[in-house]
Amino acid sequence: MMGAVVGDELPGRTLIGCNNIIGHHAVVGIKCQDMKYKAGSECFLQIGDNNELREYTSIHRSSLPNERTIIGDNNLIMGSCHIAHDCKVGNNNIFANNTLLAGHVIVEDFTHTAGATVIHQFCHIGSFSFIGGGSVVSQDVPKYTMVSGERAELRGLNLEGLRRRGFSVMEVKSLRAAYRKIFMPADGNFQSIEDRLTELQKDEKLSQVPAVCFLVQSIRDSFEEERRGICKFRSWAGS
């Protein structure tokens, strides 16, 4: 439409799928803001279908020729959001105004950020999670959880989001029980997070619920080498 500028002199490509809406003054597919980018290197951005990118949004291409920034399908990215180089954003996410993703952030599916959220580079944001407004996220957010705070901490499960997405009463109850076992042990024991996860996996009932298994795996993955660990929970922030 009027005012759009398509094409630049950067090597590489920006691929945009079907039925996307790109708002006024948005900048999509420009060179990344990364010191390791070398002038003349190919860089890539891939955007799927049915996304709405609102006014003043900026999405940057990858920093290296063998990488790419990826936006999936059916995402609502509100005004003045920024998605930096090499981010991987899944499907059906909602980023409220002024959500800022640093480089190499991975966002899974059906996540929701409130306004003015800042996410540190290399963090992973699990599916069906919620990030409260004004939060600074410097570690991973496990699936199904809710975090908030100037240095974001776990605040419980994203119960409203789970209900809206059709999780059954049984699934929600199982996730709540699993969350308590991991982060709110009744006996006040000081087991490591790994011990609590192992104990949960031995629970005959909870270990048979797929959502609980996904939660456990999401947490385990965050403690792998080169990952950032998960956002702290008050009762074990010092452990």
Active site annotation includes 120: no
| Backbone phi, psi, residue 52, to 5° | -120, 115
Assigned token pair, 90? 């899944």
With b for 16 or more beta-carbon neighbours within 10 A and e for fewer, the 39-55 pattern comes to: eebebbbbbbebbbbbe
Has 103 been annotated as catalytic? yes
Catalytic residue among 60, 85, 112, 124: 85
At 223 the three-state DSSP class reads coil
Q: Which of 29, 79, 86, 120 is catalytic?
A: 86
Sign, CA torsion 239/131/158/73: negative
Q: Which residues pair with 147 in a beta bridge?
A: 131, 154
Q: Radius of gyration over alpha carbons of the chain, in Å?
A: 19
How does DSSP classify residue 170?
Answer: H
The C-alpha atoms of residue 68 and residue 83 are separated, in whole angstroms, by: 12
CA distances from 117 to 159, 174, 234 (A): 20, 29, 20
CA dihedral 198, 162, 158, 232 (to 10 degrees): 30
Is 85 an active-site residue?
A: yes
Catalytic residue among 48, 103, 132, 161: 103
Residues marked active site are found at 85-86, 103
